[in-house]
Amino acid sequence: MKRASDKQLRVACPGCGAEVVWEARNKYRPFCSERCRLMDLGQWAAERYRVAGEPVEQEPADVAAGKDE
């Protein structure tokens, strides 16, 4: 017995891990949806930004204390 779904290549969405059917009409592949795709792109951009710019060590409490006292 053959299952129809055996023909389809399936991958796990890098964003949320959901099973995604890899097919031409799925323009978000390998993501399950536009949301996951944009999320991933956003992380990419953030990563690049961090690497390109100077190291960001955010310590708002320290800055506020120094300003205050």
Report the alpha-carbon distance of residue 20 to residue 36 in Å, rounded: 12
- Region of 2-10, 31-39, 43-51, 61-69 interacting with Zn ion (CB under 5 A): 31-39
Q: Which is nearer to Zn ion, 18 or 46 (CB)?
A: 18
Kindly tell me which residue out of 9, 16, 41, 45 binds Zn ion, with binding defined by CB under 5 A.
16
What is the DSSP pairing of strand 9-12 with strand 19-22?
antiparallel
Report the alpha-carbon distance of residue 3 to residue 13 in Å, rounded: 22
Q: For residue 15, state whether it binds Zn ion (rule: CB under 5 A).
A: yes
Residue owning tokens 């799925």: 26
Size of the site for Zn ion (CB under 5 A): 6
Q: Which residues bind Zn ion (CB under 5 A)?
A: 13, 15-16, 18, 32, 36
